[in-house]
Amino acid sequence: MGTKTAAILLTACLLLSACSANKPESAATGNNQTSAASDTSNGSQTVPKDHNSAGKTTAQHDKSVVDNSKSENSATVAAINKTYHLDKAYNVVPNQEGVEKKVILLTFDDGPKEAAMINKIIDTLDKHKAKAIFFVNGYRVKEHPELLKLIHDRGQPIGNHSWDHIVLKNKSEAEVKKQIETVQKMVKDITGQAPVFFRPPHGAGGDVGRKVAKENGLLYMTWSVGSLDWTMNKSQPNKTDALLKNVTEQLHPGSNILMHELPWTAEALDSLLTRLEQKGYRFVDPQSIEVPAD
């Protein structure tokens, strides 16, 4: 019995020694691999101090791949974000089925005028998570370039409303080019971005206005719903109610609403946007509208 027991014990020892010698490397390093995979999935790697330079280079490469991927994704989002266009009546229309139809485009003409009024309007837009196109006149920008920068810095799109507030349709092509292109250059010089939207004063650009706008990569538009705020005056009572009535009576999906930088419009804006939201409308981001440059 003693000899048999000794033989069994010797065999067991030899087997145990053999198993230890053949243990897989992956089993010994599995925890480290899991940690590295987790770091990579978070967009960066934590490189221990005792890693060699090759390891650091690999980690930096992995991070740049993630960053480049994010940039490509952002570019893709920007490229597919043009979900609307304007029809011949200047209404906002979805490009395809399944895109929300009950939307409104907000616009303000004839600025920039006063910082307090601009801030009040944009404060209200921010409250309702809305964007609006601010169509500016060149002569006003020349007087107060800081107001143009205010609109831009607060994240609102700027449109071209020509240099003067004149009827363009009867002007020569040279005059119309000067009226439009001078504003294009001025806005770009001040904000770094040239406008992509053009609205002729009085809604009267004519064929020449359309031609020059297109040559400058501008989307030509007038409006499909007028607030009639420009017909009001300081002494008129109940201007907010009148503005609400003017807009809601014409309201329809895709409405392109014309307003102005006027004190009573700034005062009525919160009530107007609240009423529109209650009716189930949402405010379209002008950047989602196709323009000729697209």
Helix axes 145-153, 173-191, angle to 10 degrees: 60
Q: What is the pLDDT of residue 81?
A: 85
User: Rounded CA gap, 132 and 156, in Å?
Assistant: 6
Mean local confidence (pLDDT), 60-83:
44
CATH of span 84-288: 3.20.20.370
Lowest mean pLDDT, pick from 25-34, 133-142, 193-202, 250-259: 25-34
Q: What is the mean pLDDT of the chain?
A: 81
Residue whose entry in the numeric block shows the structure tokens 């907010």: 240
Helix axes 206-215, 173-191, angle to 10 degrees: 40
> Could you read off the pLDDT of 214-270 as tens digits, one per residue?
999 999 999 999 999 999 999 999 999 999 999 999 999 999 999 999 999 999 999
Helix axes 115-127, 263-278, angle to 10 degrees: 10
**Which residue in the list 39, 109, 161, 207 is annotated as catalytic?**
109
And the tokens for 289?
Answer: 């509208």
Helix axes 115-127, 145-153, angle to 10 degrees: 10
User: Rounded CA gap, 245 and 248, in Å?
Assistant: 5
Mean local confidence (pLDDT), 88-95:
98
Q: Answer whether residue 43 shows pLDDT above 90.
A: no
Q: Is 109 a catalytic residue?
A: yes
User: Rounded CA gap, 136 and 108, in Å?
Assistant: 9
> Could you read off the pLDDT of 160-218 as tens digits, one per residue?
999 999 999 999 999 999 999 999 999 999 999 999 999 999 999 999 999 999 999 99
